[in-house]
Amino acid sequence: MGVPRQPESVRRYESRFLPVLISVGLVLLLEAMPTRYTILPRPIGRSLEIVFVTSLVVAGVSPPTSVWATVERWVVWIVVALEALLEIVVLKTIMGDIIFHHHQIAPLTMLSSAVALWTMNVLIFSFVYWQLDRGGPAGRATGWTGRADFTFTQGNPTDGVPAGWQPGFADYFFLGFNTSIAFSPTDTLPLTPRAKFLMAAQSMISLITLVIVAARAINVLT
């Protein structure tokens, strides 16, 4: 996960306002999950969120070549990997309850859990793409060179796109949303094998959540 840098070409660093806002949404989703599907004790989850948000804020006000950019990168990878694992465990538990009828689940509880899991899937992979592509926010701010993981449409010259345009968190959030709802690339295409595998994994999790969990809940309600 090295980040090739050219310190002499440092550009304006990416704002952390949207990533912080999205991370707060993640913790609210975890808090909203039914007790049966809460894997980590809530105090531990809140502590991880504090560390996560703090790393984003500090990195956002520090130079992109500082040690805080590296700290942010590792904190994001660790926390997002943990949340992805929790998402898979919760999804497995819900599917087990549906298939084997171990517990009687209210349809509205099942449906709200499915919506929360689907939204978590979008947010988790948005952070993954944001940190993965072009060396992450630090790499994009310091003249990263190499093979990009995604190619973004920038329109034609009459659209007024700046020559030095770089994707930001909003672009990766849009990528994550489209992948979860369309189950395929839309306007942004993966270029590397790891990007393709990640998008395939996100689509699979989204498909299982919508087809098995949400569809089952809607079927019971109707």
**Interval 165-186: pLDDT, tens:** 888 999 999 999 999 888 777 7
Per-domain boundaries in the chain: 14-143+167-221
pTM of the model: 0.85
| 36-to-33, 159, 163, 183 alpha-carbon distances in Å | 8, 50, 51, 29
Query: What pairs with residue 48 in β-bridges?
Result: none
Residue-wise pLDDT for 28-47, tens only, equals 777 777 766 677 777 787 88
Residue-wise pLDDT for 46-101, tens only, equals 888 888 999 999 988 888 888 998 999 999 999 899 888 888 888 888 777 777 76
